[in-house]
Amino acid sequence: MKKVCMFGLGFVGLPLALSFAMRGCKVTGVDIDVNLVDELNRGITHHFETYQGKTIQEILREELAKGSFKAITDGLKAMEECDNIIVTVGIPVENYKSDITPLIEVCKTVGQGLKKGDLVLIRSTVIPGTTRNIIMPILERESGLKAGKDFYLAYSSERIAEGKAFDEFENMPAALAGIDEESTAKALELMSIVTKAPITQASSMEVVETAKVMENISRDVNIAMVNEFARFAKAMGLDIFEVIKVANTHKRVNLLTPGPGVGGYCLPNAVFYLLPKAEELNVKLDLLLTARRVNEEMPRFVADLVLRNLPVAPNQARIAALGLAMKDFSNDDRISPAHMVIKHLQNAGCTVKAFDPAVPSRYDYKVDTVEEAVKDAHGIVILARQTAIDFMNLDYYYRLMSKEGTPFIVDTKNIYQDDEWVTAKGFKLEKL
């Protein structure tokens, strides 16, 4: 039975910890959030994850009952019982600058608790070179031990999509590299408990760190391209979703789907993990930064679609925003474009009431029912799909909404593919 210590119990750390626990490991999860730790130990989590017909809530309760998982806030105590340490703590970005402080603080704790023979596996998305140039010196200084001699150190990128974490930890090909061959072998042995897909052993940790950042940026760039296409198609009076469907009949074309922007912790931050190293090397990233700007402009574009359909002045308008998550069928609203759309509408003078039953976060404009959001609204803007929102109940929405002018819907998710059906229900439909 391997004993694993998981630092960080968020969207990556918790399902990864439970993935090890389900496969016979004894896992101690560490997080500084006292409320989160308390909830987890009581079997409570708000994540939307499933595995082989079980929800993450069911899995959590089962592993707690078996004694194979527990959560604590004391990292040093956790490390006393474990010899495999995995770090999943993220690097936040504010004002286009990455802040590595949270990761540094965790690594200090890890270093203080490090024992001879321990493996430290970094799974956070980092600025290329971080594991060797920043984390390793911290671990060595705090522990008095030497990497590659007294303890093992490796890096492996995290590639999961929220909502598919258990499946993708198991079946998504992975990549890793250690400070030396022994560290690589130790990390491979640990990861192979969960990951059944091929695991690429790269020549250096820097290769894996850089590949991870580039993977995320490539998706940000591809989304920016279709978001720009959407604006062009809108000006042409074309349905961008139909245009993309036709374009994708080409065997070498695979355009993504446009939306109100790009959210979450990974994609919007990715270029700002690469940028510090690029600036150090005097390498320009013009295309990548332009793509980021295009995606950042989409919430304003969506807000403008709402504003141009108002039957009253903006300061008299009431708007229902349906969906706050950063993507469809998620409870994660970090860096969600929905919040930026709402901010632009509020800045224009509109009153906005938003509904998303999956997102646990509270906001002044968030209400508890779809009825509260839609009642007396002049228009609806759809920003994320959720199973618990019945977007097809237009008769119900129409009865609730204001009749000052024609009620309208701005659909950024291509939910309503039959324009005539929506019009027959009494609405004006505006697509992305």
Number of H helices, E strands in the chain: 17, 17
| 218: Cβ contacts below 8 Å, ≥ 6 apart | none
The alpha carbon dihedral of 125, 127, 128, 132 has a sign of negative
Are 244 and 319 contacting, i.e. CB atoms less than 8 angstroms apart? no
Rounded Cα distance, 174 and 407, in Å = 49
State the catalytic residues.
Answer: 212, 266
Are 305 and 126 contacting, i.e. CB atoms less than 8 angstroms apart? no
Angle between helices 286-307 and 337-347 (to 10 degrees): 50
Say if strands 379-382 and 318-322 run parallel, antiparallel, or are unpaired: parallel
Rounded Cα distance, 325 and 332, in Å = 5
Length of the chain: 432
Element (H, E) at 236: helix 205-236
First to last CA, the chain: 52
Structure tokens at 147: 């990497």
Are 86 and 7 contacting, i.e. CB atoms less than 8 angstroms apart? yes
Are 333 and 339 contacting, i.e. CB atoms less than 8 angstroms apart? yes
Residue 163 region by backbone torsions, left for phi larger than 0, else alpha for psi between -120 and 50, else beta? left
| Residue 50 C-beta-side C-alpha neighbours within 13 Å | 6
Residue 411's CB is within 10 A of a number of other CB atoms, namely 23
